Structure 1
Amino acid sequence: MTSAATDPFRFHGGRLAAAAAQFPSASAPWIDLSTGISPWAYPVPEMAPDVFSRLPEPEYVAHLEQAAAKVFKLDNLSEILAVPGSDMAIRILGTLFTKKRAAMLTPIYSGHRTAWPEAEEISIDEVTDQELVILANPNNPDGRVVSPDQLRALPGQVIVDEAFAETAPSVSMLPERDGAIVLRSFGKFFGLAGIRLGFVIADAAIVERLRTMLGDWPISGIAATIGLAAYRDGEWQDRQRQRLKEAAARLDDMLGNSDLNILGGTSLFRLASHDNARELFVILGQSGILVRPFSRDEKQLRFGLPASEEEWQRLENALNLWSDKQ
């Protein structure tokens, strides 16, 4: 098997068109387990026609920010900004801190490496006097968690990507972020990545600068309407955390039964390793199942959660097919 089998999929998940081209005879429909996006989406509320025909009013976006701030336990609304996805925020922040000596805790989401290509790659124990420290917490792809107290003790400006913190709110730096810039993602936990919604929580001066850069309509009225409903629905959020936890435990059992070594993750995904992971990637692809490979360690694969019993069965069948060939 050549490296070409996994090359298009190493930067980030979700590349189903590339997968269909790579494995044209694969079973359909495709099962996308390559991302950390919940397979169960928040039910989209009915929307008035003018949500689609009018530009979103600033006051309406402000209502969304207020609802999110309540969930994040924030009191100062001048310190939160709705953005069109946390990935966009990462790229913009990369332009604001170009002169600082930066380091990032690795492994890390690939978008951070794009935003800060010159940043030193270190571990938490190697942080000393850096001017800018970037990390994801919980981390992607291995689920590593650094305690909020330890993060508050880091030197310089800290940027914390909390894209997966909705599944484990206790690991968040919020509300006592101590000057850190915190990024939150809506789409992963709520299963609606396509609407592109996230938040930056930072000192008011940074938020105002970002708000000016994004302009008068930073997000769509559709994103504001759905996000407002979802953040106000605490019961749904509690149910979502519970079913994600149960599904992750089921995935652990299934991967373990196939002799994969589970390295970590969150309740939205698991990182696993095996000496023959590249062969497993191909067998899964031939079965119409896309997982996430990594260029830095070709023994590793990240698995998201199947959405239905049919998908669970297809995954189990493909894993059994691979196990039989070992």
Structure 2
Amino acid sequence: MSGPWTWHGGGLEAAKREFGTGDWIDLSTGISPHPWPGPATIAFDWQRLPDPDALARLEAVAAVCFGVDARHVCAVPGSEIGLRLTGTLVGGPARHIAPSYRTHGEMVAGSAPLATEAAPGYDGTLILANPNNPDGRVTSAATMQALLDRRGLGGWLLVDEAFADTDPATSIAALVDDGRRLIVFRSFGKFFGLAGVRLGFVLAPQAIVAALRERLGAWPLSAAAIAIGTAAYADREWIAAARRRLADEAAALDTLLTRQGHRPTGDCPLFRLIEVDDAQALFERLARRAILTRPFAEQPHWLRIGLPADAGARTRLEVALADG
């Protein structure tokens, strides 16, 4: 299976053209269905260029959340750009854990896929996600430390933590230091449910941060992204409540899927992966009921299902799954 839905989540307009308009539920992404509510209260001065001091404040506030010194934090206009720019700085040879996020295989020219079980024996630059996407697998802290320890031979450990905000215990951001060959990528839009802000971070040794800033140039972020990101990362009460809510709703999704005969996998509360005989048929059946999920061209038995926003959306999903 190939098409706009297998390349990346979020192809809602293409789905409407293919399957018809209606009251769609988009479960094709790993973006939280509960966005941080603050943007409606923030005013921006669109006539002024973004202020460098404001950008530094954003990085400092985010650094506290990540548990890393602000000197190692570089804000970027989306983690996608951070991944690709950093890949050009690091260079090859490199390997990327597969299956995982598609961009990992494009970050470093010539990078080849590597099975998870082969990673402990590889010494060069290694690219992986934790939690992993699309299967939600979480790599233990001990394993991550062992992978980092092997980088002393010259390679880098590049860790995409786009989904780590849901559980900070999965992050190794605190280990980022000038003396370690570790670079961590963080995403704002997924946990805060505001992917349109286009905000991400690269956590790296200061030499990498400096090189990134040179390539990004002046004013890398909009004033809106800076203001929204600063206020959101400072909202500790909302962050704590969101983590509890997402965990509870992921458990409810697990119960729903199990009740319908599926075995959900994954430890990231923003999505679950199920394996079926014909994922394309199930994808199309759900799409005809205005429910968009995420199939995979290279894995015809996989279907990723994002977190429904409420009980009504869960009910619609369960009815559609049951109506075979």
Normalised by the shorter chain, which TM-score bucket? Answer: over 0.9
Unaligned runs of 5+ in 1: none
Name the counterpart of 2:12.
16
Q: How does 1:199-214 map to 2 (within 5 A)?
A: 199-214=201-216
Q: Among all aligned residue pairs of Structure 1 and Structure 2, give the percentage whose two residues are the same amino acid.
A: 45
Paired amino acid for 1:120:
A
What amino acid is aligned across from residue 215 of structure 1 in structure 2? Answer: G
Matches within 5 A, 1:95-106: 95-98=88-91, 100-106=92-98
Aligned with 1:114 (options 106, 110, 126): 106
Q: For residues 198 and 109 of structure 2, what CA distance do their matches in structure 1 show? A: 24
1:176 aligns with 2:175: yes
Tell me if structure 1 keeps the 8 A contact 2:105–2:113: no
Aligned to 2:83: 90
Match for residue 316 of structure 2?
A: 314
How far residue 94 of structure 1 moved from its aligned partner, in angstroms, is 2.4
Give runs of ≥4 in structure 1 deviating > 6 Å: none
- Give the distance between the partners of 1:38 and 1:248, measured in 2 at CA: 11
* In 1, Cα distance between equivalents of 2:219 and 2:190: 22
Q: Is 1:47 aligned to 2:42, yes or no?
A: yes
Match for 2:303 among 290, 301, 313? 301
- Supply the AA of the counterpart residue of 2:256: M
> Where do residues 17-32 of structure 1 align in structure 2 (5 Å cutoff)?
17-24=13-20, 28-32=22-26
Q: Which runs of 5+ in 2 are unaligned?
A: none
Q: Does 1:123 align with 2:99?
A: no
Rate the CA distance shift 1:179–1:290 in 2: closer, same or farther, 3 A: same
1:63 aligns with 2:57: yes
State the shift of 1:313 in Å.
Answer: 2.0
Cα distance, 1:117 vs. partner?
5.5
The CA distance in 1 between the partners of 2:234 and 2:283, in whole Å, is 39
Task: Give the Cα separation in 2 of the matches to 1:317 and 1:125.
Answer: 38
Following superposition, the deviation at residue 47 of structure 1 comes to 2.5
Q: Aligned AA for 2:110?
A: E
Is the partner of 1:270 in helix, strand or coil?
A: strand
Once the two structures are TM-superposed, the CA of residue 151 in structure 1 deviates from its matched residue by 3.1
SS of residue paired to 2:248: helix
Q: SS in structure 1 opposite 2:55?
A: helix
Equivalence map 1:128-147=2 (5 Å): 128-146=121-139, 147=141
For 1:166 and 1:284, how far apart are their aligned partners in 2? 29
State the one-letter code of the partner of 1:217: W
**1:171 counterpart letter in structure 2:** T
Report the alpha carbon displacement of residue 68 of structure 1 after superposing the two structures with TM: 0.4
Deviation of 1:179 (Å): 2.8
Structural mapping, 1:220-259, within 5 Å: 220-259=222-261
Q: Give the direction of change, closer, same or farther, for the CA distance of 1:290–1:208 in structure 2 (3 Å limit).
A: same
Q: SS of the counterpart of 2:221?
A: coil
TM-score (norm 1): 0.92
Normalising by structure 2, what TM-score?
Answer: 0.92
Asked if 1 retains the 8 angstrom alpha-carbon contact of 2:59 and 2:74, the reply is yes
Deviation at residue 189 of structure 1 after TM alignment = 0.4
Q: CA RMSD in A?
A: 1.5
Judge conservation of contact 2:246–2:270 (CA < 8 Å) in 1: yes
Distance 1:265 1:285 in 2: 25
- Aligned residue pairs: how many? 313
Deviations 1:256-313 (A, max 9, x none): 1111222324111001111132211011100111000011211110011111332222
Distance in 1 of aligned mates of 2:248 and 2:258: 15
Q: Which moved more, 1:244-253 or 1:122-131?
A: 122-131
